Amino acid sequence: MSLLVVGLSHRSAPVSVLERASLSADAQVKLLQDTVAAEPADEAAVLATCNRIELYADVDKFHAGVAELSTLLAQHSGVGLEELTPYLYVHYEDRAVHHLFSVACGLDSMVVGEGQILGQIKDSLARAQELHTAGRLLNDLFQQALRVGKRAHSETGIDRAGQSLVTFGLEQLALGTPVEAWARDKKALVIGAGSMSSLAAATLARSGVAEVVIANRTQERAERLAQILSDGDDTDVLARAVPMGSVPFELTRADVVVSCTGATGLVLTADAIAAGVETRIGQQPAEALAAPAPATEAAPAAGTASAAAPEEGCPLDLSAVQPGFSVMGEAAVAGMDAATLEQHAAWVAGATTDRRETVRTGPEADAELIGALAATASVVGRIPERRRPEPVAEPPRPEPVLFLLDLAMPRDIDAAAHRLAGVRLVDIESLAEASADAPMAADVDQVRRIVSDEVAAFGAAQRAARITPTVVALRTMAADVVAGEIARLEGRLPGLDDKHRAEITRTVRRVVDKLLHAPTVRVKQLAAEPGGAGYADALRTLFDLDPETVASVSRAEESTEKNAENRGPA
């Protein structure tokens, strides 16, 4: 069996695809159950966060495993396989281990170095253990990933390379102002009471907000979180819980809203947000929902033609004239028929004209009429030409009175809120854009070295573990041979006393142990090296070991490990 991971993240897929592919808690459970029921997979674990969805499995066939895991992800996410496939990545064996260790250290996070992913990995392992979909490989892998992540944070300054997604989001809302100064005395509304929402509430409380209101579908969880905040020794924030039905009213009071729920639809619509801030800015924010007017360009320099609408009533059709012509030159009107030129002359003089269809002719236009038009232009100063409209200054947007942070996937807050006057919205998509340019600390290189070392150590341990049942079976067989020979000796020497029998038994066992010591130690060393998996097969063949005996040893080890796993992840 071999480790395989198939997934997508903010690095491989746009936020819109991640949003649609997100898995509810029930969908994750069903995905795990269906994965271990599939033929190629023996174990399974799902790591689903706001910016990644990954399915880990122990498979016996690579290509069949990739096909099966990809299909299952598509089925349970609701995104068609053909649409999902371009955004999927696949890691196998050591590369899969390297990927999870990098994720655990925060190297693959949207905000490099954030530590919240460790809690999410721990939750994924606990879910797989509860459903009995994690066997020895995935338990070892996820347990080690947690240790590697903790080591990275304790031995390096990776925390300085980034912050939690919550902190980063608040920094984006604050627009360069220190979060503590920006948040001071504000009133905050937190929607949801899960791990991310709890972290947001605690971060806001430590940042100095005056009040934190928790709204959640389960009132008890909201009350418990509010109580924790109120009892905290490091803050004196006022915290209270409200039902979800109170959110519209709380929007009229809140300065900051953070939302992160497991809802599949919008929690806050643009209309609800507009209604909440309407009285604060003295206008209907809904008016700002209209698409903004496109930016206008400055009027073209005098003497050039432009691509905008002609001046009203002008009968001259300059659509076919090459740009850049001189308004005083004959090239401006060359090739136009006399009737059109007459109309233009009359229009310049202020007369009303009916526009006629212009008929392009050759370069032999009426020179007399061209001269007349040129004379008119010299008096008026120009040949009226098509112009772009003058730029219209847009009224400045009012300063935000409501700051929204949407950390949910799929989104909780209507993206149309971006266009509401008096509102600033930061969501997963804008965080992804902002984090692309975030500086990375030098400690990242040190964490990468830790990951590489830990991957090598994990691989060696796993390869060595694969040969252990074979070594145990070999020593068991040797012990059985010794016991059989001692029994045969007793039959041949029935008068042998206990003292001599015990000495002979110890001698035979020492001989067998010495003969087996060097090869078994060496085979474990060789098996721990890359490509050492074949040594177990060689040992079984050389000593004619019963495959069922080896398998029974493996089952006994797994049974012992499962009893330990029931105590939960480290």
Render pLDDT for 473-490 as a digit per residue (tens, 0 to 9): 788 888 888 888 888 888
**Using one digit for the tens of pLDDT, what is the confidence trace for 493-507?**
888 888 888 888 889
Percent of the chain with pLDDT over 70: 71
531 is in an annotated binding site: no
Q: Which amino acid is at 169?
A: G
Confidence of residue 306 (pLDDT cuts 50, 70, 90): very low
Over 70: is that where the pLDDT of 377 sits? no
Percent of the chain with pLDDT over 90: 36
Confidence of residue 62 (pLDDT cuts 50, 70, 90): very high
**Of 178-187, 312-321, 544-553, which gets the smallest average pLDDT?**
312-321
Confidence of residue 230 (pLDDT cuts 50, 70, 90): confident
Residue 201 · residue 212 · CB < 8 Å: yes
Say how many CA atoms lie within 13 Å of 45 toward its Cβ: 28
Confidence of residue 96 (pLDDT cuts 50, 70, 90): very high
pLDDT at 52: 92
Q: Which residues contact 458 (CB under 8 A, 6 or more apart)?
A: 97, 101, 140, 141, 144
DSSP string, 347-363: HHTT------------S
pLDDT, mean of residues 229-245: 86
**Residues spanned by CATH 3.30.460.30 within the chain?**
2-162
Q: Is 326 exposed, middle or buried (0-12, 13-18, 19+ CB in 10 A)?
A: exposed
75 is in an annotated binding site: no
430 is in an annotated binding site: no
**Of 152-166, 307-321, 454-468, which gets the smallest average pLDDT?**
307-321
pLDDT at 328: 42
pLDDT at 1: 60
The larger pLDDT score, comparing residue 23 to residue 477, is at 23
Helix residue ranges per DSSP H, 185-266:
195-207, 219-231, 247-251
**Using one digit for the tens of pLDDT, what is the confidence trace for 255-290?**
999 999 888 889 999 999 998 888 665 544 444 444
Confidence of residue 238 (pLDDT cuts 50, 70, 90): very high
pLDDT at 305: 39
Domain 165-282+398-434: which CATH number of 3.40.50.720, 3.40.50.300, 1.10.357.10, 1.10.3210.10: 3.40.50.720
260 is in an annotated binding site: no
pLDDT, mean of residues 153-159: 84
d(Cα 453, Cα 48) in Å, to the nearest integer?
26
Beta strands in 294-370 (DSSP E): none
Task: Report in angstroms the alpha-carbon separations of 112 from 102, 296, 313, 455.
Answer: 10, 39, 62, 20
Q: Which of 148-162, 230-244, 245-259, 432-446 is the most confident on average?
A: 245-259
pLDDT at 395: 63
Over 90: is that where the pLDDT of 34 sits? yes
- Has 105 been annotated as catalytic? no
d(Cα 433, Cα 430) in Å, to the nearest integer?
5
Q: Which of 50, 105, 260, 314 is catalytic?
A: 50
70 is in an annotated binding site: no
DSSP string, 388-413: PPPP-PPPPPPPPSEEEEE--SS-SB
Q: What phi and psi, each to the nearest 5 degrees, are found at residue 295?
A: -65, 140
52 is in an annotated binding site: yes
**Residues spanned by CATH 3.40.50.720 within the chain?**
165-282+398-434
Task: Report in angstroms the alpha-carbon separations of 99 from 29, 59, 211, 457.
Answer: 23, 17, 40, 15
Whole-model pTM: value is: 0.59
pLDDT at 277: 86
Of 398, 404, 430, which Cα lies nearest the Cα of 251?
404
Handedness of CA 409, 412, 415, 417 (dihedral sign): negative
Over 50: is that where the pLDDT of 26 sits? yes
DSSP string, 500-543: HHHHHHHHHHHHHHHHHHHHHHHHHHHHHSTTTTHHHHHHHHHT
Beta strands in 410-499 (DSSP E): 423-426
197 is in an annotated binding site: yes
Q: Which residues contact 474 (CB under 8 A, 6 or more apart)?
A: 516, 520, 539, 543, 545
- What's the distance, Cα to Cα, between the start and end of the chain in Å? 25
115 is in an annotated binding site: yes
147 is in an annotated binding site: no
pLDDT at 111: 75
Over 80: is that where the pLDDT of 63 sits? yes
28 is in an annotated binding site: no
* 26, two tokens: 């029930």
pLDDT at 441: 53
Over 60: is that where the pLDDT of 382 sits? no
Over 80: is that where the pLDDT of 12 sits? yes
262 is in an annotated binding site: no
Over 60: is that where the pLDDT of 329 sits? no
Confidence of residue 164 (pLDDT cuts 50, 70, 90): confident
**Using one digit for the tens of pLDDT, what is the confidence trace for 173-220?**
998 899 999 999 999 999 998 878 888 999 999 999 999 999 999 899
The string over 511-529, giving b where at least 16 C-beta atoms fall within 10 Å of a residue's C-beta and e elsewhere, is ebeeebeeebeebbebbbe
Using DSSP, state whether 219 is helix, strand or coil: helix
**Of 124-128, 203-207, 324-328, 507-511, which gets the smallest average pLDDT?**
324-328
The larger pLDDT score, comparing residue 272 to residue 561, is at 272
Rg (CA), the chain: 38
Confidence of residue 140 (pLDDT cuts 50, 70, 90): very high
CA angle (132 as vertex; 130, 134 as ends), nearest 5: 105
pLDDT at 195: 78
CATH number of 2-162: 3.30.460.30
Residue 218 · residue 212 · CB < 8 Å: no
Q: Which residues contact 256 (CB under 8 A, 6 or more apart)?
A: 173, 183, 186, 187, 188, 189, 204, 209, 402, 403, 404, 405
Of 307, 323, 314, which Cα lies nearest the Cα of 383?
314
Q: Which of 100-104, 516-520, 545-549 is the most confident on average?
A: 100-104
pLDDT, mean of residues 92-117: 89
Of 37, 85, 74, which Cα lies nearest the Cα of 57?
37
The larger pLDDT score, comparing residue 461 to residue 303, is at 461
* 448, two tokens: 């990468």
409 is in an annotated binding site: no
Q: Which residues contact 70 (CB under 8 A, 6 or more apart)?
A: 6, 81, 84, 85, 88
Q: What number of H helices and E strands is found in the chain?
A: 20, 10
Q: What is the DSSP letter of 479?
A: H
Quick count: other Cβ atoms within 10 Å of Cβ 273? 25
Confidence of residue 302 (pLDDT cuts 50, 70, 90): very low
314 is in an annotated binding site: no
